[in-house]
Amino acid sequence: MVAGPATAPCPADVLAELTATTDPAPFHLTCFATLPPGRSVTRPIVIEGEEGSGAGLDCRGGSLGRPGVASTTRTPTLSIRSRLDGDGWSRPRGVRLADCTLHGNARIWGLGADGRIEELRASSRAPGHTGRAQAAAPTDILFHRITFIATGSIPLYIGPGVTGVRVDEGRFTGRSVSTAIYLDAESAGTVVQGVDFDIATAREQIAVDGSARNRLVDNRFRRSDRGGVFLYRNCGEDGVIRHRAPTDNTITGNRFEGVSWLWPRAVVLGSREGGRRYCGDDAGWPFGSSADDGDNAARNVVRGNTVDYRLWPF
């Protein structure tokens, strides 16, 4: 079912469909849903295209997703994505989520959505890719007081070209096979502020992969033993050229706990520098990571952070 007009409050019949527990089909949301007290949503939610602009949810303490169910990149709890209409992209903007517990993962996509890597690769092989990716991607997305409970895949993935995401006063818990937040290439302007990270990750807590002008401010990272915030450029992955480097980011006022004294990695500027076997897969073009495998993590501000070391090596 597709809900009512964008920015309008969801009527009662749409709320009933949204919160139906017997229907596993994804729900395409194009209105703003305020959940009744004690009500949750177990159906996957899709906010897609221009008609999704202004859509969102105020869970009022309720939850999204199914507790304890393993999540994958192909089964997101929440998808905010653009759609290719003819020769142009229809993208959502002004999406808002507040006071929710989100089980599983949220993914925000433009170019390359749903595994369509070829369109992303083709764009990257011509000048102006950053602008095209950003024009095609969702923008102006707010996650306010959201508790992400990871059950496998990255709980918050911000895809190529996505701009203007804000995550504030929330929490990340559970377990991720990768990171807690991933900022992918050509994205920009994400703000993560006042967030409590108490999540077990297989890698660093936040990956900044060819993403710029982000602000990571006043957060608490309780499990930094595998790394806190890493800035790099993932040259050559899937043959996609990274045009933008991880530059002009601000990382201030954060607290990193459990950092290994043997290998301290709270914030790492330039964590890869071309050290991946697939870096040559984007060779042949005179720009971006095709011309230079280096991370080029420049003009980043890192100051006023607190590091609490773990006093044992293992």
pLDDT in tens, 258-300: 998 877 899 999 988 877 888 989 999 999 999 999 999 999 9
**What pLDDT score was predicted for residue 235?**
86
Which is nearest to 139 in space by CA: 121, 166, 105?
166
Answer yes or no: is pLDDT of 125 > 60.
yes
Which band of pLDDT confidence, cut at 50, 70 and 90, is reported for residue 124?
very high
Give the whole-angstrom CA distance, residue 38 versus residue 33: 14
Give the whole-angstrom CA distance, residue 60 versus residue 99: 5
Q: pLDDT tens-digit profile of 69-81?
A: 999 999 999 999 9
- The 3-class SS string of 18-30 reads HCCCCCCCCEECC
> What's the whole-number mean pLDDT along residues 236-240?
90
Q: Other CB atoms closer than 10 Å to residue 110's CB: what's the count? A: 31
Answer yes or no: is pLDDT of 1 > 60.
no
Which band of pLDDT confidence, cut at 50, 70 and 90, is reported for residue 197?
very high
Which is nearest to 59 in space by CA: 45, 71, 72, 48?
45
Q: Where are the alpha helices (DSSP H) in 129-229?
A: 129-136
CA atoms within 13 A on the CB side of 242: 33
Which is nearest to 25 in space by CA: 54, 46, 52?
46
**What pLDDT score was predicted for residue 277?**
84
Which amino acid, 75?
Answer: T
Return the ∠ at Cα 253 (arms to 248 and 259), rounded to 5°: 100
Across 2-11, 118-127, 223-232, 299-308, least confident range: 2-11
Contact 205, 228 (CB under 8 A): yes
What pTM, to 2 d.p., does this model score? 0.95
Give the whole-angstrom CA distance, residue 46 versus residue 285: 36
Give the whole-angstrom CA distance, residue 90 versus residue 81: 9
Which is nearest to 56 in space by CA: 87, 99, 17?
99
Across 86-100, 265-279, 296-310, least confident range: 265-279
Which amino acid, 58?
Answer: D
Pairing between β-strand 83-85 and β-strand 88-90 as defined by DSSP bridges:
antiparallel
The listed CATH number (2.60.120, 3.40.50, 2.160.20, 1.10.287) that belongs to domain 12-310: 2.160.20
Give the whole-angstrom CA distance, residue 134 versus residue 285: 21
> What's the whole-number mean pLDDT along residues 45-68?
97
Radius of gyration of the chain (CA): 19
**What pLDDT score was predicted for residue 2?**
42
